[in-house]
């Protein structure tokens, strides 16, 4: 993908289908995909259709790959090698991302599925421990505003 606008055009229809009837805001999912995959330019996205940096665990029955990633511990960025889920298609990656959120109760407990705005949902993701970056919510809201992503919530 050469630009963020082209990336948004590439993924927005699949995101909207994945978010349908889930109470997830497409604007948030698009912003997360932009941020987590460097607008589709990361190897994890390009080679493995994992646009959200979803890690694999012992419970994951699908394919996995290992990559270095940045995690924040006590506010300090560190690089560590982690296993990530690998998907055969973008559609599979997006569908599993929604399923991942639905089966992990911490997202329900922290209000991801009851949020009334994208901004509230971004904060709920942060409270649920979705990301370790202390500026994660600020970055997502900035992307939502900069690229007018709320238009996909309609």
Q: Residues with catalytic annotation? A: 71, 96
Q: Which residues, 6+ apart, have CB-to-CB distance to 69 below 8 Å?
A: 53, 79, 80, 81, 82, 84
- Would you give the distance in Å from CA 47 to the centre of its chain? 17
Measured between alpha carbons, how far is 122 from 139 in angstroms, rounded to an integer? 10
Question: Which sign does the torsion angle of CA 114, 115, 118, 122 carry?
Answer: negative
Instruction: For residue 128, give the 3-state DSSP assignment.
Output: coil
């Amino acid at each position: 993908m050469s630009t963020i606008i082209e990336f948004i055009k590439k993924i927005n229809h699949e995101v909207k289908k994945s978010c349908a009837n889930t109470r997830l805001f497409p604007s948030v999912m698009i912003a997360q995909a932009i941020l987590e995959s460097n607008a589709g330019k990361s190897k994890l996205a390009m080679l493995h259709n994992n646009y959200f940096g979803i890690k694999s665990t012992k419970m994951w029955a699908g394919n996995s790959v290992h990559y270095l990633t940045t995690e924040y511990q006590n506010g300090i960025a560190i690089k560590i090698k982690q296993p990530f889920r690998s998907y055969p298609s973008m559609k599979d990656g997006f569908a599993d991302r929604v399923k991942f959120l639905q089966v992990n109760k911490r997202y329900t407990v922290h209000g991801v599925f009851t949020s009334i705005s994208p901004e509230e949902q971004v904060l709920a993701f942060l409270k649920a421990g979705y990301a370790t970056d202390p500026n994660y919510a600020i970055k997502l809201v900035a992307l939502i505003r900069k690229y007018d992503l709320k238009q996909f919530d309609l």
